[in-house]
Structure formats: structure tokens, C-alpha cells
Structure 1
Amino acid sequence: MKIATRPVFRVVGVLSLAWLAGCSVLPKAESPEIYRLPSTALPHAQAGAVNWSLRIDTPQADRSIDSARIAVLPRGDVVSVYQGARWSDRVPTLLRNRLLEAFRDDGRIAALSSDDMNLQADYALSGDLTAFQSEYRSGQPVIVVRYDARLVRNSGLRIVATHRFEISQPVSGTAVPQVVAAFGQASDTLANQIVGWTLQQRMDTTGHNVSP
């Protein structure tokens, strides 16, 4: 009986080794390239500093945008993402940080903060980010960034002004690094426009700074 059972154990042992060997051949986990949002420093403004403070809030966005994925619309309303590529943070956070950086570069508002800090401020810049994607138009990718801005006076929570900003930035190619570079250019343009618009809302018709 012992002699008869040995081959069975050998067969089971061989099958077990083969099964373990097969299990070791698993799909490799995705190791995406992580991209920061490129930025170019804005020129320092020559105008004097203002005497009010501003908080930059993280924009509101739906689930297709509120992600670290790099979104692309290859056709129509079909939403996809660039495989093997990620942003270094969620898109709304990236844009908030870019706006904060732009206001610091401008230099006219020294008392700046973000909603991460939860500090009191005279005004808050908030908004809805409704587009932050690459769209294919006539076979070529174009970066589209759409932001509905609100400037809110925190005393009384009154909306001072609203404005829709929409940037369309052509991409020089279809490779992911070229797409990322175009996202950076579009974000720079948006940030520059928002800084100018925000400060303009706080100026009177004579060009003098208005107190909070």
C-alpha cells in the first residue's frame, strides 16, 4: 500500500508546484508617471499693495474632474483618461494651488491664505470647475479649462462678483508630456485672468483701492 501511494503523492506534489508557478505569473501593477501641473511665474505687479485679505478656496467639481486622472474626451461626450499617467494631486487642489501661487507672484495681496488653513479673510475666491480636460477637435487635442468664479465678501457672505472663465489651449502633439505642458499653459492663462479680475472688482472707478 505504501508503494502504491508514493506516485500519487509525487503527482500531487508536481501539480502543486505547477499551480504555484502559475500563480506567480500575475499582471504587473500599474506604475503611472506622476505629473505636476506646470507653471510659469507671473510678473510682479508695479501697483501698490492692497489693504484687504483674500482666501483661495478649492473649486467644486464633479467626479469626472475631481480626480488625479488626466481626463480626455476623444469624441463627443465620451470621457476617458490617459493611461499610465496621473496628476500629483486632485485637479481642484492643483488649480487652487496654482491660483494661490499666481496671487503671490503678483504681490499686491500680501494677506493670502487657502481653505486648508481655515483662516479668517475679508474676501474669498471660490468657484465651480466645470472643465479641465483634453478634447479632440478635428483630430487634434485642445485643452479646455472652464471656471465659474465667485468673489465673496465674508462679512455677511455676500457675493461681490461672478464671472465665467474659459480657456482653450491647442496642444503641440498627442504625447502625454505635450498634453501636460498645454494644461500648464492654459492654467497660467486662467490664473493671470483671475488675478486681474479679482483685483479689478476691488477697485473704484477712479483706480484707487477700495477698503473692505
Structure 2
Amino acid sequence: MFLSPRSLPSRLPALLLALGLSGCGAIAALDDASTPLEIYELQTPPIQPSAARGSLELVVEPPIASGALSTERIMIRPAPLQAQYLPDVRWSDEAPAMLQTLLVRSLSETGAFASVGRAPLGAQGDYALLGELTDFQAQGAEGGAAVRIRIMLRLVRERDASVVAARTFEVTEPAADTETDTLVAAFDRGTSRILSEVLPWVVGATRGGA
């Protein structure tokens, strides 16, 4: 809208007020963005290396997951059909990517493979580990809370795209209360339990033991 010189003085206070309000909104947004977040990451479990190093190449794909789980935020479920997130805290990466990293590190540390990575070194690897993450959240439980983790894995032989093994891994790890540190510790224990079951299964399947 064009403002004539005569109308400008009468409209100036309103314009200044509007600009001031928008400026306050921008400052508030900057304040929110500068609020420090607590960042948490999970650890691999203690691993006993294999006696002999393997010759196979394993590629670990990021697990697929729903939009509610494909986030850096730490999910809690106060009810089965309700998803919320802990405020002011984050995982170090989106949950599927974090699980992929833990799988790559853990499987590498076994020494059972010539290489373990997110992509093949050449045209293709020998095996690919594919997954679907269906649960990775804290939820209410009698007397406290619990962390539930559930992941479905498939081991695929690359040369003929055949599924050589498939299995679902799930754990429920109790937490004494709903404090953030307590819940994260439960996530760490639960993830370690899952990995401790996944590693021998993957190694055995690639060596014909599944």
C-alpha cells in the first residue's frame, strides 16, 4: 500500500510499534536457539575380539523407522498411542543413524570381518545388514519407567540378494525413575543388551552358523 506524505506521520507510531513487536519476536527466537541442550550418546558394549580376522565385507544400512523415531529427540510414551519428547535434551544423532553407528563400531571390533562400513569398499560388499527400528522409547511402568527397544534385522547376501537370516531383537530395561540421566542410562543398558545378542548372530549367520 502506498503512503502519501500527509498520511505518513499519523501512521508512523503504528508502524514503529509493529516493527518493535516483530523485533521482540526475533530476539526471543534467538534466545531460544541459544539455550544450551544436553547431548547424550550411547556406547558399545565390551567386545571380545575374534581369534582370527575374517575375510568378508559387511555393509550396515541405517535402520528404517517411523517419523516419530527418526529424530534426535528422546522419545517417551505416557500412553501407548501418545508420543512426547524430553525437553532440552538430544541424542548425538537421529536414533536410526545412532544405531547404525553402534552396529558398525561393534561389528568392526569383533574382528570377524575384513571390513564393516556404511558403504561397500568396491562395487558391492559380501553381506548387507538391513533393519527396521520399531521401538526406541521410554514408557511408563508400575513403580517407575522402562525403556523399550525393538529392531528387526535381515542379513542379505549381496551376490544374489537372498536373505540368509532374519531375526527380531527386543529388550525392556527398567528405570528407577523418569529423570533424564536415569532414562538415558537405561537406554544405554538396553542397547548394550541388544548389541550383545546381535553380534554373535550376525557373525554366525555370515559363517553359515544360522
Q: Same fold (TM over 0.5)?
A: yes
Equivalent position of 1:86 in the other structure: 90
Q: Which residue of 2 aligns with 1:162?
A: 166
Code of the residue aligned with 2:148 in structure 1: it is V
Alignment partner of 1:124: what SS?
strand
Task: Give the Cα–Cα distance (whole angstroms) in 2 for the partners of residues 14 and 127 of structure 1.
Answer: 60
Partner of 1:196: 200
Unmatched 5+ stretches in structure 1: 1-8
In the TM superposition, what are the counterparts of 1:88-167 in structure 2 within 5 Å? 88-115=92-119, 120-167=124-171
Shift of 1:107: 1.9
| 1:173 shift after superposition | 2.7
- More deviation in 19-28 or 55-64? 19-28
Of 29, 32, 43, which aligns to 2:32? 29
**If you compute each CA radius of gyration, which structure gives the higher value, 1 or 2?**
1
Q: Which residue of 2 aligns with 1:6?
A: none
Q: Percent identity at matched positions?
A: 24
1:69 and 2:73 correspond = yes
Check the 8 A contact 1:145/1:186 in 2, yes or no: yes
Using the alignment, how far apart are the partners of 2:96 and 2:150 within structure 1?
A: 12
Q: Could you report, residue by residue, the CA deviation over 1:10-36 in whole angstroms, capped at 9, with x for unpaired residues?
A: x98887777666655544415352423
1:135/1:104 Cα in 2 relative to 1: closer, same or farther (>3 Å)?
A: same
User: In the aligned structure 2, how far is the partner of 1:117 from the partner of 1:139?
Assistant: 49
**Match of 1:92, SS?**
helix
Q: Aligned partners of 2:100, 2:19: CA distance in 1, in Å?
A: 49
Aligned amino acid, residue 142 of structure 1: A
What is the one-letter code of the residue matched to 2:155?
L
Task: For 2:126 and 2:135, locate their aligned partners in 1 and report how far apart those are by CA, in whole Å.
Answer: 28
2-side partners of 1:185 and 1:108: how far apart? 24
Mapped to 2, the partners of 1:137 and 1:117 lie a distance apart of 45
The Cα shift of 1:38 comes to 2.1
Amino acid corresponding to residue 81 of structure 2 in structure 1: D
- 2:59–2:120 contact (8 Å) kept in structure 1: no
8 A contact 1:113–1:119 mirrored in 2: no
**1:68 is paired with a residue of what secondary structure?**
coil
What residue identity is the alignment partner of 1:61?
Answer: A
C-alpha change, 1:61 and 1:14, in structure 2 (3 Å) is: closer
Aligned equivalent of 1:178? 182
